[in-house]
């Protein structure tokens, strides 16, 4: 999954801002580099040590950022396009534009109506574990229980089992050590019986471990991706598509014989 950010304040420094053609060019390059999904988002959700350091934007502003980009990219790429949003109004407009997948960083906690949209349009949806604080009684058990509740609600709303994808939420409501533990224990979350998406790309826990700025975290990202796949991840959400496609293919060949 290749990330296309249309926000001006993306944590990774790759925000497209208002340049629709730049977003299209990036999506086409990602497709050529081997991305299987293009994920488009309009609001920065950057955090440091698990704590939000961003200001939410209005639905109108998010629509202004993403809809022109979605319209162009969907008409030009052959791979599925996902919308990264936790607002049902944005999700509905994106669906009308032709997206194939929903990616909700709040796992139906912020706007429950997204569940109804996923059910009605029979779309795959990524349900991320997220919380406002970083305190846990038992990290793995707590994340697993929270995702189980999210799954139960999704199924009750009418989302089919085959359309549910889980995301442990690296960097969201997590301390750096939590992110490392989650990658190491993905097998525990795999027991829930759903595909797993992970997004460690360029995140602050890598920077803290290696003491490196955002533009020097590709090796740390690669190590995180490889171990995530080895521990059960099925989808990786990344900024550096060409390099991480190679990492994924090599790791798959070793661990899964693909």
**Residue bearing the bigger pLDDT, 9 or 39:** 39
**Residue bearing the bigger pLDDT, 109 or 48:** 109
Structure tokens at 68: 């022109």
Q: What is the mean pLDDT of residues 16-22?
A: 80
| pLDDT at residue 145 is higher than 70 | yes
Strand-pair category, 125-128 with 164-167: parallel
Longest dimension (CA), the chain: 47
Strand-pair category, 47-48 with 51-52: antiparallel
pLDDT (0 to 100) of residue 72: 96
Domain that holds residue 219: 2-255
Q: Considering only CA atoms, which of 183, 233, 164, 176 is closest in space to residue 205?
A: 176
Structure tokens at 157: 């709303």
Separation of alpha carbons 241 and 90, rounded Å: 26
Rounded to the nearest 10°, the torsion over CA 235, 48, 107, 83 is -60
Counting beta carbons within 10 angstroms of the beta carbon of residue 243, is it exposed (0 to 12), middle (13 to 18) or buried (19 or more)? middle
Type and span of the H or E element at 23 = helix 20-33
CB 198 within 8 A of CB 189: no
pLDDT digits (tens, 9 = 90+) for 150-202: 999 999 999 999 999 999 999 999 999 999 999 999 999 999 999 999 999 99
Residue 38 per-residue DSSP state: E
Structure tokens at 67: 């809809």
User: Annotated catalytic sites, by residue?
Assistant: 203, 237
CB 143 within 8 A of CB 189: yes
Separation of alpha carbons 36 and 78, rounded Å: 9
The answer to whether the pTM exceeds 0.85 is yes
pLDDT digits (tens, 9 = 90+) for 207-232: 999 999 999 999 999 999 999 999 99
7-11, 81-85, 103-107: the lowest-pLDDT one: 7-11
pLDDT (0 to 100) of residue 9: 56
Type and span of the H or E element at 67 = helix 59-76
Structure tokens at 183: 């990658």
Type and span of the H or E element at 184 = helix 176-184
Number of domains in the chain: 1
Token match 């990524």: residue?
A: 126
At residue 46 the predicted structure's pLDDT band, cuts being 50, 70 and 90, is low
3-state secondary structure of 235: strand
Q: Considering only CA atoms, which of 202, 199, 209, 201 is closest in space to residue 176?
A: 209
Q: What mean pLDDT, rounded, does the chain reach?
A: 93
pLDDT (0 to 100) of residue 50: 47
- CATH of residue 187's domain is 3.20.20.20
Half-sphere exposure of 159 (CA within 13 A, CB side): 27
């Amino acid at each position: 999954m290749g990330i296309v950010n249309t926000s001006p304040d993306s944590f990774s420094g790759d925000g497209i801002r208002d340049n629709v053609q730049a977003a299209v060019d990036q999506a086409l390059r990602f497709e050529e580099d081997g991305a299987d999904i293009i994920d488009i988002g309009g609001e920065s959700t950057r955090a440091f040590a698990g704590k939000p350091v961003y200001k939410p934007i209005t639905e109108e502003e998010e629509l202004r950022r993403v809809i022109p980009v979605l319209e162009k990219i969907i008409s030009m790429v052959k791979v599925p396009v996902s919308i990264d949003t936790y607002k049902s109004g944005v999700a509905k407009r994106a669906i009308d534009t032709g997206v194939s997948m929903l990616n909700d960083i709040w796992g139906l906690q912020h706007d429950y109506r997204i569940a109804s949209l996923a059910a009605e349009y029979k779309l795959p949806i990524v349900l991320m574990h997220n919380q406002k604080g970083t305190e846990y009684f038992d990290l793995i058990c707590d994340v697993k229980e929270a995702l189980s509740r999210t799954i139960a609600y999704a199924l009750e709303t009418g989302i089919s089992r085959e359309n549910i994808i889980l995301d442990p939420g690296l960097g969201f409501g997590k301390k750096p050590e939590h992110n490392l533990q989650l990658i190491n224990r993905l097998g525990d979350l795999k027991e829930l019986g759903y595909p797993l998406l992970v997004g460690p790309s360029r995140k602050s826990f890598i920077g803290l471990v290696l003491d490196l700025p955002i533009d020097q975290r590709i090796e740390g990202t690669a190590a995180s991706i490889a171990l995530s796949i080895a521990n059960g991840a099925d989808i990786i959400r990344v900024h550096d598509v060409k390099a991480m496609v190679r990492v994924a293919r090599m790791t798959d060949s070793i661990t899964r014989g693909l």
